[in-house]
Amino acid sequence: MVDTFIHPSAVVEQGAKIGDGVRIGPFSLVGANATLGDGVELLSHAVVTGHTTIGPGTRIFPFASIGHQPQDLKFKGEVTTLSVGANCLIREGVTMNPGTAGGGSKTVVGDNCAFLANSHVGHDCVVGNNVIFSNNVMLAGHCVVGDFAIIGGGAAVIQFARVGAHSFLGGMSGLENDLIPYGMALGNRAYLSGLNIVGLQRRGFSRTQIHDLRRAYRLLFAAEGTLMERVEDVAAEFKDHPTVVEIVAFIREGGKRSLCTPRGSPES
């Protein structure tokens, strides 16, 4: 192991796989079935256990608990996994749980994500790339979070919900329905309050792309017809607009939750 540092007070169990340049700080624990990629850093008092893989360059701060058994009373000790991508930031007190046999047996977190203090990723979740969880975010089991989504402080997402790519869920919100890609939801219980315009502008979406999304949004959540009728109309009109096509595909795919809609809409 090249340039790897393990503090004398840390415990690295036999069988753990440690990459080059890993730094394991005081009073940390790495379990026998854990894998730390090159350049991973555990600052101090951090635990990585279970069948857990941490991608290169990820930093884990004190009192994070990564890979302990899922918080599911149906769990019977089966072998399940947790995979965390490269260059993630996992701050103090964060918890991430592996999957369960009833949910696919794996939890997956992508690259370049930030999980701020005391946030939680439940069992069998799939979290995309470049996602941000602010402090105290609670993601229940079986959720899917798309790339570049941002979840504000203290927000809670119900099990089996989907949070679309490039969306924004406001702080202290309680999301019990699916949030469309590029959408913004606020409140407890959360309602769809528009598009994540500021986020789109910050990530370099063009004025034309944003204009197309605005038009499609107004049509999707208009008062006329049923939601699926409006979806088909939007799909036909915007078939050459990739951002709108992504929203249409998300709605068509469906899930175990209803769709998060604006206040006062026919579907709300």
Residues catalogued as catalytic: 123-124, 141
Tokens coding 133: 């969880």
Pull the structure tokens for residue 181.
Answer: 């890609």
